[in-house]
Amino acid sequence: MRAKKNLIRDGTTVDVMVRAIADRIVVGDLKPGGKLDEATLAERFAVSRTPIREALAQLAAMGLVDRRPNRGAIVTAVSQAQLASMFESMAELEGICARFSALRMTSHERAALESGHQASSRLVHLGKEEEYEAYNTEFHSCLYRGAHNTHVFELVTLTRSRLAPFRRAQFRLSGRLAKSWDEHDAIVTAIMRGDGNAAGEAARVHVNKVSNASLVFVSGSSD
């Protein structure tokens, strides 16, 4: 009876709701500061309030929504300062991952990283923004995994997911694609040399560039 929905039924209904609501927030259907009415959401997704409540609790734990006791949930309004702090954190975390990757990646991981990186240059020359963005995600994931530190992986994944809505449009900036590749190249090169500090620094520089590119859009669109 439940496996008939058009939604993918990976896990429990709560999980589906979490992703559904998170998507709405990320897409922009639900704006920062907007109230999240439990009954309305329940009706909209044709479920009861209980899974909605649990989903909101999880989203609150993720930081996507704010939940005041007895006063409902609202979409977290991230200030410019908070956003900047998150990007800064991201740069630091990626720096850590890159440094650890340079010191700890297995030969197999190194090979995969470099081959993917070299292959991605094709996407740059062809100007395939969408595909490059997909590869870019994979590239960074490689770094996170290569650090061989489960907790850092968690932290960096969490931060990245929170920043996802704001990172979307950065590749629209002219020349950003090629610059991104060059920055990746610096990271890969340092990792291949086993130079942890250089890799970390390169990664920090890279993310800071991305941050600036992204903040341009946000500052233009937000209040």
The residues that touch a second copy, with contacts defined as CB under 8 A, are 11-12, 14-15, 50, 53-54, 57-58, 61-63, 69-70, 81-82, 85-86, 88-89, 92, 96, 149-152, 154-155, 158-159
- For 42, 47, 119, the CA distances from 68, given in Å and listed in that order, are 19, 23, 48
Token pair of 97 as six digits: 């991952």
When CB distances are held under 5 to 8 angstroms depending on the partner's kind, the choice from a second copy, DNA, none that residue 7 binds is none
Of the candidates 207, 201, 222, the one whose C-alpha atom is nearest the C-alpha of residue 98 is 201
Q: Minimum CB separation from a second copy for residue 53, in Å?
A: 7
When CB distances are held under 5 to 8 angstroms depending on the partner's kind, the choice from DNA, a second copy, none that residue 72 binds is DNA
Q: Minimum CB separation from a second copy for residue 222, in Å?
A: 17
Q: Which of residues 128-187 bind DNA (CB under 7 A)?
A: none
Of the candidates 206, 156, 208, the one whose C-alpha atom is nearest the C-alpha of residue 186 is 206
- Give the burial string for 18-56 (b: 16+ CB within 10 Å, else e): bbbbbebbbeeebebeeebebeebbeebebeeebbbbbb
Q: Is 85 in the site for DNA (CB under 7 A)?
A: no
Q: Which of residues 10-29 bind DNA (CB under 7 A)?
A: 12-14
> What is the layout of strands, in order, in the sheet containing 35-36?
35-36, 73-75, 65-67
CA–CA dist 161, 154 (Å, integer): 11
Site track for DNA across 37-66, x = CB under 7 A: xxx-------xxxxx-xx------------
Structural contact between residues 129 and 177, judged by C-beta atoms closer than 8 angstroms: yes
Q: Of 73, 83, 177, 210, which lies in the binding site for DNA, with binding defined by CB under 7 A?
A: 73
The smaller minimum CB distance to DNA, of residues 37 and 182, is found at: 37
Give the residues lining the site for DNA (CB under 7 A): 1-3, 12-14, 35-39, 47-51, 53-54, 67, 69-73
